[in-house]
Amino acid sequence: MVSHKGVDYAKILTRYDIKAQNEASPEAIAEKMLPKDPVLKKVAETVVWMKFKDVGPATTDALKTKEPLAIINDGLVAGMEVVSKLYADHIYYLPEIMMAAKTMEIGIAIAEKKIAGGRTMKGHVVMHVAEGDPHDIGKNIAKVMLTSSGYSVFDMGKDVAVDDVVAAVVKEKPMMVTGTALMTTTMTAFPRAAEKLVAKNINIPFMSAGGAVNRDFSESFELGIYSEKAPQTPPIADKVKAGYDWRKIRANWDDIVGGV
């Protein structure tokens, strides 16, 4: 009879499928991506696990030791980045995305209130999401960044028709207009809107942003400038305020956003 004595089964039987499954579990993916700071991690986790009852207390607690913008960028948005990864990996689907986004928005609304206000406004910006595009989370974050840096914002929301954008720019007379597109089918609205502005002799920078666009596209039409991440918006706006036109922003883009 064959003896099994002394056999180390761990060296023979390795269930690679289970190992791979464990490494690709939502918990393991989140653990790799979540912030290391325990306070911010707690905030981010409420977004990842869609705990909309916990996000308020976690954000309020974090506000005792952290700056509101750090909580937004490094906590709430960091959590949403994990959610985007889980979606890309087909672990999360649209309902989870919606609930996570809602959770993040509750946290942002609480943190936003603690951003020092009451300053004189540096300038006015019109913001919108491209016609046909419902993705407004990034735009809302960029709006928080701009308002907290002292800019007033006319927020046109999502799925905004090109002609409405042009009409708002004519009426609001902003120093800059921003457009967000996360869908490749909607980004072509930006050159169309910019062309209509040029035809009206309006010469303000048109910042195009969002996952569907890149710097090459954003600089392919007159007025167009690029912003890759929401936190890059205030430094660019500061240069517009300082008198840089869209050509000068393009030429100095790397220096302006450097490190952000």
Q: Shortest Cβ contact with ligand B12: which residue?
A: 138
Binding pattern for the stretch 136-175 against ligand B12, x by CB under 6 A and - elsewhere: xxxx-xx---------------------------------
88 binds ligand B12 (CB under 6 A): yes
The CB-of-187 to ligand B12 minimum distance in angstroms stands at: 8
Full 3-state SS string of the chain? CCCCCCCCHHHHCCCHHHHHHHHCCHHHHHHHHCCCCHHHHHHHHHHHCCCCCCHHHHHHHHCCCCCHHHHHHHHHHHHHHHHHHHHHCCCCCHHHHHHHHHHHHHHHHHHHHCCCCCCCCCEEEEEEEECCCCCCHHHHHHHHHHHHCCEEEEECCCCECHHHHHHHHHHHCCCEEEEECCCCCCCCHHHHHHHHHHHCCCCCCEEEECCCCCHHHHCCCCCEEEECCHHHHHHHHHHHHCCCCHHHHHHCHHHHHCCC
The CB-of-83 to ligand B12 minimum distance in angstroms stands at: 7
Among 63, 69, 70, 97, binds ligand B12 (CB under 6 A): 97
The CB-of-205 to ligand B12 minimum distance in angstroms stands at: 11
Among 59, 148, 178, 218, binds ligand B12 (CB under 6 A): 178
Among 84, 202, 245, 250, binds ligand B12 (CB under 6 A): 84
Q: How many residues bind ligand B12 (CB under 6 A)?
A: 33
Residue with Cβ nearer ligand B12 (42 or 218): 218
259 binds ligand B12 (CB under 6 A): no
46 binds ligand B12 (CB under 6 A): no
Residue with Cβ nearer ligand B12 (58 or 79): 79
233 binds ligand B12 (CB under 6 A): yes
Task: Give me 84's structure tokens.
Answer: 């985007």
The CB-of-3 to ligand B12 minimum distance in angstroms stands at: 55
Task: Give me 51's structure tokens.
Answer: 């705990």
How far apart CA 85 and CA 100 sit, in angstroms, is 13
99 binds ligand B12 (CB under 6 A): no
Residues of this chain that bind ligand B12 (CB under 6 A): 77, 80, 84, 87-88, 94, 97-98, 101, 132, 134-139, 141-142, 178, 180, 182-185, 207, 209-212, 227, 229-230, 233
